[in-house]
Amino acid sequence: MRTGRLSLILVGLALAVIAQTTAVLAQRASDVRLDSAVRSLEMGPREVRADLTVDLHNNTSERRLARLALENTPQGWDVAVWDRFFDFKISEIVVEPPAPGETGPSQSLRLRVDLPDDRPPAGAYSFRLRVTSPDGSVEYDSADYTIVVPEPPASNDSGVSLSVTYPVLRGPSTSQFEFEVVLDNDTGADSSFNLAGDAVDIARQPLTGWEIAFSPSFGQERLISSISVNDSLTERVDVRVSPPRNTPPGDYFVLVRVSDEAGFEAGTLLQITIRGRGEVLASTDTGRLNVEATAGETASAKMRLTNFGTADLVDITLLADAPQGWEVAFDPSTSPPLPVNNQIDIPLTILPAADAIPGDYLITLRANHPDTSDSVELRVTVAQSTIWGWLGIVLVILVIGGLGALFWRLGRR
């Protein structure tokens, strides 16, 4: 009885060994294929991490359990296979067989390489990734990788830089000046940079009243104070500068600075050349905007021009919009030079039409210059001409005289 049970146990063990051996023999090196397009790369001067794509293909109709092993990794480096989307390392993974009609990879992973805190010397460093069965008895595939570490950046390289294609702009103080600044992130990591700007004069003294705003190159309606830039990439930022309206002509500067929490910072200097521009204000010498006139007779007034700009005004053309049949004349028709913060009075005559009906009329007086213009409306109150009054009196006298003569002649009869 005992002999029979022992025989059964031995037979079972033999069958198990045979099954396991059969399963091992059933796995072949060609069952799983490793596909990795990039096998060698050079990191940036400040780059500390690299990610490579690793694809596994199951060439059978059954799932395979694959083990991922790294060999000869440089000392101190953190090299591992990670999930493609989530941050966790993988040492073994089930590689499913492809579905009918599919040709893509069964599993997509990423090989992540992190340099140690103490950056290694410049050179080429190699290691190997092996894909095997769980017990390592069958090697499915392998790949050799080479990471080139370049020379460290120069000591004066801050890792972030600003560049401007057109750093000098020119215009009047009433303009808004817009610069395009390119921010280059070479810090070795994605970062968010704070943006700041200050206006200074040629002696580097701070200026007040200047407005400095930042906006992305695409979506200029948004104002920003910081911008995120991925490692080894660039972003464009528009810098809009509005000087005070009464800024005198001269050269002014805007210092633009960027900085992040890691201590990286950079700056660039923008120049604005303000050219003078006159600004004319039209009014009358008395401030009154009404004039009394008589139809068919000239009336006098004075148009006052004031220059409150930052440059002299020369050859201001004077024009008038008047009712049909009216005449408005300036003396002279073109004003003499008008210095900054000065004013001049230009005499003018207004001749209403002889048949103008009594009432109020509007005349628009204009001062035109290539850089500036202004106008003022003048109300002209027209009264009937006095000659018609005298004619009326004469007619009345003639009528009365005629009636008196008529009565006298009839009385004699």
Lowest-pLDDT choice from 152-156, 207-211, 336-340: 152-156
Q: Which of 124, 149, 174 is the last residue of a domain?
A: 149
38 and 106 fall within a common domain: yes
36 and 142 fall within a common domain: yes
d(C-alpha 251, C-alpha 78), whole Å: 54
pLDDT at 184 over 90: yes
For the chain, give the number of residues. 413
pLDDT tens-digit map of 48-62: 889 999 999 999 989
266 and 176 fall within a common domain: yes
pLDDT at 35: 93
Boundaries of domain holding 64: 27-149
111 and 211 fall within a common domain: no
pLDDT at 386: 60
| 394 occurs within a structural domain | no
pLDDT at 1 over 50: no
| 333 occurs within a structural domain | yes
pLDDT at 406: 72
Sign of CA dihedral 82, 83, 84, 86: negative
| 9 occurs within a structural domain | no
43 and 132 fall within a common domain: yes
pLDDT at 178: 95
d(C-alpha 351, C-alpha 255), whole Å: 59
Position with higher pLDDT, 392 vs 164? 164
pLDDT tens-digit map of 68-122: 999 999 999 999 999 988 889 999 999 999 888 787 788 899 999 999 988 899 9
Token pair recorded at residue 377: 């409306």
88 and 164 fall within a common domain: no
Going by pLDDT thresholds of 50, 70 and 90, the confidence category of residue 5 is: low
Going by pLDDT thresholds of 50, 70 and 90, the confidence category of residue 19 is: very low
301 closest CA partner among 325, 322, 284, 277:
284
For residue 217, what is the domain's CATH number? 2.60.40.10
d(C-alpha 413, C-alpha 399), whole Å: 22
Going by pLDDT thresholds of 50, 70 and 90, the confidence category of residue 10 is: low
221 and 241 fall within a common domain: yes
Strand partners, 238: 180, 215
| 134 occurs within a structural domain | yes
pLDDT at 12: 56
312 and 332 fall within a common domain: yes
d(C-alpha 371, C-alpha 303), whole Å: 20
Average pLDDT, the chain: 87
361 and 315 fall within a common domain: yes
Q: Which of 251, 274, 297 is the last residue of a domain?
A: 274
pLDDT at 394 over 70: yes
Lowest-pLDDT choice from 16-25, 26-35, 73-82: 16-25
pLDDT tens-digit map of 209-255: 999 999 998 876 789 999 999 988 999 999 999 999 888 899 999 99
pLDDT tens-digit map of 122-144: 999 999 999 999 998 999 999 99
| 266 occurs within a structural domain | yes
Going by pLDDT thresholds of 50, 70 and 90, the confidence category of residue 26 is: low
110 and 36 fall within a common domain: yes
Q: Within 31-83, where are the H helices?
A: none
pLDDT at 28: 87
pLDDT tens-digit map of 380-389: 999 876 655 6
299 and 191 fall within a common domain: no
Q: Which of 274, 293, 314 is the last residue of a domain?
A: 274
pLDDT at 157: 61
pLDDT at 24: 44
d(C-alpha 241, C-alpha 218), whole Å: 18
Give me the number of domains the chain comprises: 3
- The region, left, alpha or beta by phi > 0 then psi within -120 to 50, assigned to residue 177 is beta
306 and 242 fall within a common domain: no
| 296 occurs within a structural domain | yes
pLDDT at 345: 95
| 257 occurs within a structural domain | yes
Describe the strand order of the beta sheet including 226-229 as a list of residue ranges.
168-171, 265-274, 250-259, 191-200, 226-229
| 294 occurs within a structural domain | yes
All residues at 6 or more sequence positions from 107 whose CB lies less than 8 Å from its CB, including other chains: 55, 56, 93, 95, 96
